[in-house]
Structure 1
Amino acid sequence: MTKRLSLQNGTNEIICLDLMKSFDINSPPWEDMTKTIGLPVLSYNTHIALGGKNNSFIFMYSGIEKSLATFKFQVDKLLYIFDTNTKTWSVPTTANLPQKPRDAASFTSDGKGNIYLYGGYELNETSSTLENPPALNDAYVFNTISLSWTSLNPSLTLLRRAKCSSVFLNDGRILYIGGESSYGVPYNMTSVYVYNTVYGMWSEENVDSSEVIVEERIEHSSVLLSNGDIIVYGGWRPGGATNGTVAQPTLVILETKSMFRWRKQNVTGKFLHLNRHSCHIVNNRYMFVAYGHTIEGTVTVSRNELYILGTTNYTWITRFGQNLFDETISPKNSNNSLIIGFLIFTSILAAVLTVILTTILVSQCYHKRRILRIY
């Protein structure tokens, strides 16, 4: 890997992981792609989602950005697009682009060309964030096909929220889990904030906590499984002037089918409790967790490990084999190029700051031969 830039400057690195290779989690075969497709700016705390025609574009919105040439903060270019076909970055012209640059927001794709932006902390041109600001309470939907933004319910006063996790459910609802209303003021985990994209309605819904008490948390992750369960992992409880404490339990399940309910989940294998990490589900069977932080006493420690959780038996595996990935690919689809997985690892580390984009493309020839390409 190339030498990473410091916290003050951010990074333009992109590294990829080839999931068609077998590897031990202690030595994953990361490939540095910065020289060929590096970010056009120095960036951290950015927001990334998939969209565009055939979901073949990566959209990077705002975050803390600096010029590659001058290292100065910039807020004039809030949106970048990466074309996975041409492998190029561009700055698009969009209609009604939200004018408040921000970090720690929610940027959630529905997989059908729309990305939903909500909350975060406002940035300015002279510092990474405004001094002790309240979280923003605005929300927008970005149509990645027409490249236009629309404000969601501008007449309503939404809850201020930043540093939460968000999940797009199959029924069109977005769940916003945890987070904080301002620095050091977290939301209780006995409720979730919900936006119904079908009916355009916001609501706050209670979560049954009779089985397990879930501590409030920020900078955690949430991933949706095919059965409707959500894995909530990691995060920390903000502690004002201190670094806060580890939020317990480390891993918990949020049931969503009939009602919202927290469920205990026994997990086997070795892993760390991380915050500010990257987390994505692969083929509904494996949860990849990369980079992040641990809290050790009053010290925050940067991590560069990779962990993989098998979601069928909730075991942290030590080795990832090619057959584990390949067996989940359906041979029935005759598309010449099929996007079967999309990993975005956007770490918001306080010391080692990395943006990792991994788009997994599988070319299917005669329904048998499969060649993995990573951009």
Structure 2
Amino acid sequence: MNYDVAILGAGAAGMFCAIEAGRRGRRVLLLDHAKSAGDKIRISGGGRCNFTNYNIAPEKFLSNNPRFALSALKRFTQWDFIAMVDAAGIGWHEKTLGQLFCDGSSKEIISMLLDHMARAGVELRLQTQIDQVSRDESGYQILTSAGTIRAASVVVATGGKSIPKMGATGLGYKLAQQFGLSVTETRAGLVPLTFAPHVLDKTAGLSGLSVSAEVSHQKTRFSEGLLFTHRGLSGPSVLQISSYWREGDSICVDLCTGQDIGNLLGDDRHAYGRLSVKNALARHIPEKLAALMVAEAGVAGNLADQSKAALRGLAETVHNWQVTPSGSEGYRTAEVTLGGVDTDGLDARTMESKAVPGLYFVGEVVDVTGWLGGYNFQWAWSSGWAAGQVC
């Protein structure tokens, strides 16, 4: 069982790397402990796979060195992957904010990748446990549940810790540390945020309510949907900000974007002065949310009874609701893992370890994390492509 390249992990990055290495005539073995390849691809985008984004740019990736990703992203772009999807006859559409989804099923993307792997002569071995990886003068030895495999090069594409029920583990980080590479702090990213009981007591009646909102943390802000849950907040805007939020920090939420509640209520005083302030506010935002905002602002009575200062305070609460999450839902529901193999130890053009020849890291296991909306898949395609040119 001797190979030129052994790739650990049959997810997006591993499959793409296998295709590129196989096309170069390399004898490639792709290993995974799962029953099928591309499981995270299959469940992504509600089963339609948000496979890339029109607006790929380095500032939309989080890393200790955000510019590290630029080399791979420039050399295999979103347009290259779109061309591949088109050539496979897979229909797709833009949903919003440059996010591209399959018209049909995400299984079409997996089938496309499997087809390219087969044509490139890649050997796929599933349900194979990886127990140990070592290196000597002759190359790498991989001890697996199916025996020992030898390879000149090893590509680690094992992903991060997110969604453990899909089989996610920290194997890639352990291998990096074993071979002397640093690993930055890892934590759940693109994940719903949770509230402490005293906050949930106030928001419990809002569970299931969705609004358009702008959510910000320090200088970073996202304007997309927000969803109240029985545990806290979710929705695209919250998932996005979760990658920037840290425990103990508050977030700021504008619950009525594009309108000035202060001006609207000021105008309403003349025609709707006898309405309770809650019902007046409910003309502009959902009633249950209006009740929460009125309680948060500490106002009561009819609209006509409110001073200008009280209405300004209520408007400030709606547009600048400050709340401190108690935590997140963690890796159980996180879409990605923030942090990972430190990019200082990797060559940006090849994804190879600078200190350990023939050892590569691609995809989520690396300290490069994209925004919600196809960015992480593009990093998987691009980083896998980069390693596949040389491994």
TM-score by length of structure 1 reads 0.24
Higher strand share: 1
Structure showing greater radius of gyration is 2
